[in-house]
Structure 1
Amino acid sequence: MLLKFTKMHGAGNDFVVIDLISQRYRPREQDMRLLADRHFGVGCDQILLVEAPDSPNVDFRYRIFNADGSEVENCGNGARCFARFVRDKQLTGKRVIRVQTAGGVLELRVRDKHRVEVDMGMPVFAPAAIPFAAAAQADNYPLEVDGQQLEIGALSMGNPHALLRVDDIDTAPVATLGPIIERHPDFPQRVNVGFMQVVSARDVRLRVYERGAGETLACGTGACAAAVYGILRGWLQDTVTVQLPGGKLEIAWAGMGHSVTMTGPTAVVFEGTIRI
């Protein structure tokens, strides 16, 4: 069949977005891998599906597939692109859009044509809910990796994140430690791995090795997780600029009991049709 799509990105984190309201298609893992393939397909970090809601309390269902074909709970940069897509395609005229994800409901607020703010919900710290194998909840945890003892933060932003503070992200061992920690047995559903450099109380540099996708140019939930971890540890203030390889995101968190908000750019790259 022929499938229409739009290629988009948020701070360099790129997506294939598919409208499954005006066209019919049942996603298959092998098709997701083909769409994400940068040589034989369209090429992207994740595939985003726009589906009709199955609840009267939301406007759309938002599904996310990684480049390896696995379906995941949440994607913050994708959520911003999702909001712009449904407005560009005139699927809604709303500026505040509620979407159901596998990780819960997100509220997307369109600020202008190119910038969207996302209410990412409250971070989750209980190890069993991340999920992460730890005896008790803590601000940081020891993690043994290849014979060395690391100190990490662990939390969920709708999907699991491990955070490591490093002196310089340019020399951080993202390519070597990233895939090992991603599949560490203490994270039974695998994990996104963030390497964060605290520049000042309001500025962080971040690289993220994403579960099922490898290192990406930006990760919205990863930026939220890094900001939350830094605020918890007292390194950061409650509003932070996170500089990722693909661009900047603004993250705000007022502390326990409050949602995390993320604001950042969206861009349309091209539209097309592919036979699958």
Structure 2
Amino acid sequence: MTLTFYKYQGTGNDFVIIDNRKSILSKNNTKLFARLCDRKFGIGADGLMLLELPQNKEDDFTMVYFNADGNESSMCGNGGRCLVAFAAFLGVIKDQAVFTAIDGKHKAEIKDGLVHLQMQNVSEIEEHDSHLFLDTGSPHHVTLVNELQNYDVVSEGQRIRNGAPYFESGSNVNFVEKKNGKLFSVRTYERGVENETLSCGTGVTAVALSMYQTNQTDSKEIDIETPGGALKVTFQKKEKGYQNIFLIGPAEQVFKGEIEC
């Protein structure tokens, strides 16, 4: 079969995206998804997404996301933003979207060339001596470090990801350096990719909330520098956690192609 695909990137977090509204691919074909994401033997990507028909009358489409290892994953923030841009490219939406992902319903808007993606509410942030842990659609370990540019993200990220208390299920691991009152630099080791990625949407969301939670900033509009580019996270603090959380940044089509599979 000749498969038509699209390559998208959001601040360097890159994805293979397939229009699967006609169910041309089975969601059980994990070996194929892993091969397509392989940077040596396939297209190459941090993950693969299927845009599928909506599950209800409220939605415009459904998001199905797979890690680079071929396994269906938890929510991907940059992936969600890229899928919204892809839906606009297809004419499925104009500039606003409602869709369902593995963690539930999301709203999004394309404005001034940026995709504003509403993330799930966060009711709990675990504070530990050396780090914080929270779930922003995916699990995230957040820790402050010095000299982030020279930090061994891969070795330390792998150690934390596979260690207690995460073990086999694992956690994404974010290393953060404060730049000023509302600007932070972040590097992320992603489970499923099992490497550092240039950006992680749910990760920078976790970092923004964690920095506010620990009084590293008093701003509810936080700028994040990643190796792949700049993102912004806005939110509202409520009595029982955080609501109205938006991940904001660019999402661009890199190319369209065909591959035999």
> Normalising TM by the smaller chain, what interval?
over 0.9
Q: Which residue of structure 2 lines up, in the alignment, with residue 189 of structure 1?
A: 169
Name the CA distance, whole Å, in 1 between partners of 2:123 and 2:36.
32
Name the CA distance, whole Å, in 1 between partners of 2:246 and 2:151.
27
Q: 1:112-135: per-residue Cα shift (whole Å, max 9, x none)?
A: 4x3110111212427xxxxxxxxx
Q: Which residue of structure 1 lines up, in the alignment, with residue 255 of structure 2?
A: 270
In structure 1, the residue corresponding to 2:81 is in which secondary structure?
helix
Counterpart residue identity of residue 231, structure 2: L
Q: Which residue of structure 2 lines up, in the alignment, with residue 101 of structure 1?
A: 101
Q: Which residue of structure 1 lines up, in the alignment, with residue 233 of structure 2?
A: 251
Q: Does 1:38 align with 2:39?
A: yes
Name the CA distance, whole Å, in 1 between partners of 2:79 and 2:123.
20
Q: Does 1:210 align with 2:190?
A: yes
Output the TM-score relative to the length of structure 2.
Answer: 0.93
Total equivalences in the alignment = 254
Q: How does 1:17-96 map to 2 (within 5 A)?
A: 17-22=17-22, 24-27=24-27, 28-93=29-94, 95-96=95-96
8 Å contact kept, 2:185–2:225: yes
Q: 1:115-164: per-residue Cα shift (whole Å, max 9, x none)?
A: 110111212427xxxxxxxxxxx4x225xxxxxxxx11000001100001
Counterpart residue identity of residue 141, structure 1: H
Q: 1:64-95: per-residue Cα shift (whole Å, max 9, x none)?
A: 111111211211111111111011112233x2
Cα distance, 1:37 vs. partner? 0.6
In structure 1, the residue corresponding to 2:179 is in which secondary structure?
strand
Q: Does 1:226 align with 2:225?
A: no
Output the TM-score relative to the length of structure 1.
Answer: 0.88
Q: Which residue of structure 2 lines up, in the alignment, with residue 135 of structure 1?
A: none
Name the CA distance, whole Å, in 2 between partners of 1:252 and 1:29.
35
More moved, 202-211 vs 164-173? 164-173
Name the CA distance, whole Å, in 2 between partners of 1:26 and 1:174.
35
Cα distance, 1:259 vs. partner? 2.4
Cα distance, 1:101 vs. partner? 0.8
Over 3 Å counting, the alpha-carbon distance change for 1:71 and 1:111 in structure 2 is same
Mind listing any 5+ residue stretches in structure 2 that lack a counterpart? none
Q: Which residue of structure 2 lines up, in the alignment, with residue 157 of structure 1?
A: 136
RMSD: 1.4
Q: Which residue of structure 1 lines up, in the alignment, with residue 16 of structure 2?
A: 16
Name the CA distance, whole Å, in 2 between partners of 1:257 and 1:218.
22
Name the CA distance, whole Å, in 1 between partners of 2:255 and 2:18.
13
Counterpart residue identity of residue 37, structure 2: A
Q: How does 1:133-152 map to 2 (within 5 A)?
A: 138=126, 140-142=127-129, 151-152=130-131
8 Å contact kept, 1:196–1:206: yes
Q: Percent of counterpart pairs with the same letter?
A: 30
Name the CA distance, whole Å, in 1 between partners of 2:36 and 2:55.
26
Cα distance, 1:225 vs. partner? 0.3
